[in-house]
Amino acid sequence: MKYDIAIIGSGPNGDALACALADTNLKIAIIDKQPLKKLENPKIDGRDIALTHHSIKSLKEIGFWDIIPKNLISTIKTAKIFDGNSKYSLNFEHKDIKKDFLGCLIPNYLIKKYLKQLLKGKKNIFSIESELLDIKIHDDYSSLTLSNGKKISASLIIGADTRFSSARSKIGISSFVQDFKKNMIVCRMKIKKNHGKIAYEFFKYNQTLALLPYINNEASIIVTVSKENSEKLLKLKIKDFNKEIENNFNYFFGKMNLIGKRYSYPMITVYSKNFISSRFALIGDAAVGMHPVTAHGFNLGLQGIEILCKEIKLALKNNIDIGSTPILKKYQKKLHRVAIPIYLSTNGIVRLYTNGSKPAKVVRKFALRAVNSIKPLKQAFMSVLE
Ligand SMILES: Cc1cc2nc3c(=O)[nH]c(=O)nc-3n(C[C@H](O)[C@H](O)[C@H](O)COP(=O)(O)OP(=O)(O)OC[C@H]3O[C@@H](n4cnc5c(N)ncnc54)[C@H](O)[C@@H]3O)c2cc1C
């Protein structure tokens, strides 16, 4: 079977790339080890994804905004960040970026569901239920061996198969991996006090807590704790869990009640040393697996897709091989330029705001005030939300 592009991984990034290229005449295979039925009806996974205006624009361009029900999307007007036990907060307001809201919040399973729906009926996109076993690169094409016994070939292979990408390993690209040795517990809770469309982040000295405002005064709760404590939190009876979270938030939101399940994610970040190889490119978490604390993972993934699509479409227009190295090099250079500052600053924030030593506590307080009061610094932080 011959394709122009074979995408390994039908997650949000793999699917968003396929959607963005659906208007070309390229024949695209999208391969995932999970059954298609399961991918089309994804289960709630506890992640609520905060999206920037840039991402909303990208999702509008591929038609996603036309099909997702708007009553399932919430908007975030303000973000407030607190340090330790202080009542002082660093504030980001929608007015600062001259928009009606800072960003919006969509549950991850809905992003997956509606991207899949968008792909249905696209005549040039072919879904293949199979696991990647092997990749071989030749001068003018690449071939994949799949677990269903089939071999396929394509001009360009895309690795979009998680931050622990097996496509990346098979090609021989190594990555910088940082294990923060913490887990993130995420869940949905109904809260008593009105969240007022404000997102909160509390960098306490023993844990990080966040609340993202969802519809019907529900909230996405994110607690980052040691692996040992995360086990305890997951096992607590619902009544005790509610009490524990109310208490951790110092009753800031009044009574809180768990809705649905609790989910746990290990905090391991990954930055691939290269985003490309011969006839091969990495996108999404397979290229850069971000720490979720600054909510940039999928946002960055969409920026990468935008860059790659522009290069592919330009190559098509000029009759250039889409898998050729000069095309891929341009993608790599542009993505590094966007990704490195976001990746390093996010990991730096995590390291500083999970450090409870005396000098760190002083720097933490100073940094928060500095960003709040030094205009260019604040603008630099706000620019990623535009
Ligand atoms: C708790 C949490 C909160 C987050 N919050 C935000 C946020 O607010 N904003 C934001 O922008 N981002 C956020 N993110 C990040 C975001 O969820 C990810 O960046 C995004 O989901 C990654 O999508 P992906 O398609 O790259 O990978 P994945 O979703 O991991 O999908 C990869 C796909 O590849 C398939 N696959 C894997 N191996 C193979 C193989 N060998 N063969 C075939 N198929 C394979 C898998 O089955 C899967 O379907 C958050 C992440 C977490 C954990």
Q: Give the 3-state DSSP-derived string for 170-218, with helices as H, strands as E and coil as C.
A: HHCCCEEEEEEEEEEEEEEEEECCCCCCEEEEEECCCCEEEEEECHHHE
Place of tokens 């996974």: 45
- Atom nearest to 16 CA in ligand 1: 25
Q: Pick 280 or 357 by higher pLDDT.
A: 280
Least confident of 105-109, 196-200, 309-313, 361-365: 361-365
Residue 9 CA to ligand 1 center (angstroms) comes to 9
Above 80 in pLDDT, residue 376?
A: no
Bigger pLDDT: 381 vs 20: 20
Average of per-residue pLDDT across 51-66: 96
Dihedral sign for Cα atoms in the order 295, 300, 305, 307: positive
In short, whether 49's Cβ falls inside 6 Å of ligand 1 is: yes
Mapped onto helix, strand or coil, the DSSP state of residue 358 is: helix
13: Cβ below 6 Å to ligand 1? Answer: yes
Domains annotated for the chain, with CATH where assigned, are 2-177+269-370 (3.50.50.60)
CA of 11 to the centre of ligand 1 (A): 6
Answer yes or no: are the C-beta atoms of 105 and 73 closer than 8 Å.
Answer: yes
Instruction: State whether the beta carbon of 201 lies less than 6 angstroms from ligand 1.
Output: no
Going by alpha carbons, the residue nearest to atom 37 of ligand 1 is 161
User: Structure pTM?
Assistant: 0.95
Token code pair at residue 264 = 């746990």
Question: What DSSP element (H or E) covers 219?
Answer: strand 218-226
The answer to whether the CB of 289 is under 6 A from ligand 1 is no
12 lines ligand 1 (CB under 6 A): yes
Q: Average pLDDT for residues 376-382, to the nearest whole number?
A: 72
Q: What share of the chain is helix, strand, coil (3-state, %, to 5)?
A: 40, 30, 25
**Nearest CA to 189 among 266, 241, 267, 265?**
241
What confidence score (pLDDT) does residue 364 get? 85
Altogether, the residues listed in the chain come to a count of 386
What pLDDT is recorded for position 355?
Answer: 83
Eight-state DSSP code of residue 279: T
pLDDT: is 85 or 244 the higher one?
244
Q: Is the CB of 32 under 6 A from ligand 1?
A: yes
Q: What is the pLDDT of residues 64-95, one digit of tens each?
A: 999 999 999 999 999 999 988 888 888 888 98
Residues 149, 142: Cα–Cα separation, whole Å: 17
